[in-house]
C-alpha cells in the first residue's frame, strides 16, 4: 500500500465473453478468455506509458532568502566564478565505450569498439524501438558530475537532470537481457568447481519445474544429495560482476515462489530478468570514472522505458530552468 498509484479501468466488450454468475452477490465476474484479456490490457498500458514523459520534476519549496550583504558581493562572485572555471578545466576529456562489467571488485577492463558491444555488463547500444522514450539531451559533457557516488547530475536543454545510477543501469541491463533472450539462451560461464547450494524439498521441486527457464538464463543445476543442488554453469553477466551464486539463487527462488498470473510465463520471466539486472547493475556508493559515466549516459537513447527501473523506481528527476530561476529570484 502506498507504493503504486491506483487506477480504474472501464472495459467495453461483448457480454457473451463475461460470466456474471460466478459470485452470488454479483461482486465478481469472470472472463471466458481471461489470459487474452490480460495480455491485451497489459500491452495497451505499456504502450501508453512508453509514450508518456514520466520523469518527475523536482518541486522546491524554500523560505524567503535573507537580504544579501553588499560589502563583499563582488569578491564572492569573482571567487565562485574562478572556482567553477578551475573545476571544469581540471576534468579530463571523456573516452567512449568503457566496460562497466568489471566494476565490482576490479578495475575497468578496457575499451569496447563503439559499434560492437562487448560483455553484457557494459550498457550497449540498443536499436530504436517504436514508442521508446527519448532521454533528455546533454548540452555539454563537462557539465556531468557524480554526487555521493550515487547520483549523476547533468545539464539538459531546459535545466538539470538528476539520475540514479543504479536505477538507470538496471533498466539498461534489463533491456539488453530481454533483447538477448529473443535471440537465444544467455551466455553462460562453466564453473571450474561446481558450487553447492542447500534447498528444501519445495525449492528443489520449483527449480525442477523451471528447468527450461534456467537453461535459457544460462544456469545449469544438478541434484547433489537429498537437500542440495550443484551449480555447474552461471550467467556470464553475473559472473563478471562477481555476483555470489548462492545469493542470486536465493533471490531467484523467492521470485519463483511468487505466483504469476495463470499461464503468464512472460510475467515470470520479466521478474527474473529484473532480479538479474538489479544484481549486476552498479550500486549506490560505487564511484564511477568519467568514462563509465559517459558510457552509461550514452545508453539512454533507445530505451523502451527510460522513466523507471524494472521495479518501478524513477531513473531521473528533472529540475527545469524556470524552477532554477524562480529559486534564485531571477524572475
Per-residue pLDDT, 34: 75
CA distance 134 to 50: 10
Per-residue pLDDT, 245: 94
User: Which of 29-38, 51-60, 63-72, 253-262 is predicted least confidently?
Assistant: 63-72
User: Which of 20-34, 129-143, 231-245 is predicted least confidently?
Assistant: 129-143
User: What does the DSSP 8-state code read for residue 229?
Assistant: E
Band of pLDDT at residue 93, cut at 50, 70 and 90: very low
Per-residue pLDDT, 60: 64
User: Which of 96-100, 123-127, 174-178, 271-275 is predicted least confidently?
Assistant: 123-127
Per-residue pLDDT, 89: 52
Q: Is the pLDDT of residue 167 over 90?
A: yes
**pTM (2 decimals)?**
0.63
Convert the pLDDT of each residue in 190-211 to its tens digit. 999 999 989 999 999 999 999 9
User: What does the DSSP 8-state code read for residue 63?
Assistant: P
Closest CA to 303 of 53, 104, 126, 60: 126
Cell matching residue 11: 472495459
Band of pLDDT at residue 52, cut at 50, 70 and 90: low
Per-residue pLDDT, 64: 58
Per-residue pLDDT, 47: 72
| Mean pLDDT, residues 226-232 | 92
Cell matching residue 61: 519549496
**Is residue 186 within 8 Å of 237, Cβ to Cβ?**
yes
Q: Which helix (H) or strand (E) holds 190?
A: strand 188-198
| Of 83 and 246, the one with more pLDDT | 246
Band of pLDDT at residue 280, cut at 50, 70 and 90: very high
Q: Which helix (H) or strand (E) holds 47?
A: helix 34-51
| Of 40 and 284, the one with more pLDDT | 284
SS (H, E, C) 134-178: CCCCCCCHHHCEEECCCEEEEEECCEEEEEEHHHHHHHHHHHHHH
Q: Is the dihedral of CA 176, 181, 183, 186 positive or negative?
A: positive
Per-residue pLDDT, 109: 39
User: Which of 20-24, 166-170, 243-247 is predicted least confidently?
Assistant: 20-24
| Mean pLDDT, residues 245-265 | 84
| Mean pLDDT, residues 150-161 | 94
| Mean pLDDT, residues 92-114 | 44
CA distance 77 to 98: 37
Q: What is the DSSP string of 242-279?
A: T--HHHHHHHHHHHHHSPPSTT-HHHHHHHHHHHHHHH
**Is residue 143 within 8 Å of 162, Cβ to Cβ?**
no
Non-local (6+) Cβ contacts of 266 within 8 A are: none
| Mean pLDDT, residues 121-147 | 54
User: Which of 33-42, 91-100, 152-161 is predicted least confidently?
Assistant: 91-100
How many residues are recorded in the chain? Answer: 331
**Is residue 150 within 8 Å of 284, Cβ to Cβ?**
yes
Per-residue pLDDT, 21: 73
> Hey, which of 66-75, 125-134, 288-297 has the most confident mean pLDDT?
288-297
Q: Is the pLDDT of residue 80 over 60?
A: no
Amino acid at each position: 500500500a502506498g507504493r503504486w498509484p491506483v487506477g480504474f479501468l472501464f472495459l467495453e466488450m461483448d457480454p457473451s465473453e463475461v460470466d456474471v454468475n460466478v459470485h452470488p452477490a454479483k461482486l465478481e465476474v469472470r472472463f471466458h478468455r481471461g489470459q487474452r484479456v490480460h495480455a491485451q490490457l497489459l500491452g495497451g498500458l505499456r504502450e501508453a506509458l512508453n509514450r508518456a514523459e514520466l520523469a518527475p520534476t523536482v518541486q522546491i519549496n524554500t523560505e524567503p532568502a535573507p537580504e544579501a550583504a553588499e560589502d563583499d558581493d563582488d569578491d564572492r562572485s569573482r571567487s565562485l566564478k574562478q572556482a567553477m572555471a578551475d573545476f571544469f578545466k581540471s576534468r579530463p576529456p571523456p573516452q567512449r565505450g568503457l566496460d562497466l562489467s568489471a566494476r565490482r571488485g576490479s578495475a575497468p577492463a578496457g575499451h569496447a569498439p563503439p559499434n560492437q558491444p562487448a560483455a553484457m555488463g557494459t550498457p550497449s547500444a540498443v536499436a530504436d524501438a517504436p514508442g521508446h522514450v527519448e532521454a533528455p539531451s546533454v548540452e555539454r559533457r563537462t557539465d556531468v558530475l557524480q554526487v555521493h557516488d550515487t547520483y549523476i547530475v547533468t545539464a539538459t536543454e531546459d535545466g538539470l537532470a538528476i539520475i540514479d545510477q543504479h536505477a538507470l543501469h538496471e533498466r539498461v541491463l534489463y533491456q539488453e537481457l530481454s533483447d538477448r533472450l529473443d535471440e537465444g539462451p544467455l551466455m553462460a560461464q562453466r564453473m571450474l568447481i561446481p558450487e553447492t547450494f542447500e534447498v528444501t524439498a519445495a525449492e528443489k521441486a520449483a527449480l525442477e519445474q523451471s528447468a527450461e527457464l534456467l537453461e535459457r538464463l544460462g544456469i545449469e543445476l544438478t541434484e547433489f544429495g537429498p537437500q542440495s543442488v550443484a551449480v555447474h554453469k552461471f550467467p556470464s553477466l553475473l559472473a563478471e560482476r562477481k555476483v555470489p551464486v548462492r545469493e542470486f539463487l536465493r533471490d531467484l527462488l523467492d521470485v519463483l515462489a511468487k505466483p504469476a498470473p495463470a499461464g503468464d510465463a512472460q510475467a515470470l520471466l520479466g521478474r527474473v530478468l529484473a532480479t538479474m539486472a538489479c544484481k549486476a547493475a552498479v550500486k549506490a556508493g560505487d564511484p564511477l570514472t568519467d568514462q563509465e559515466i559517459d558510457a552509461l549516459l550514452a545508453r539512454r537513447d533507445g530505451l523502451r522505458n527510460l522513466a523507471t527501473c524494472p521495479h518501478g523506481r524513477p531513473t531521473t528527476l528533472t529540475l527545469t530552468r524556470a524552477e532554477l530561476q524562480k529559486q534564485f529570484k531571477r524572475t
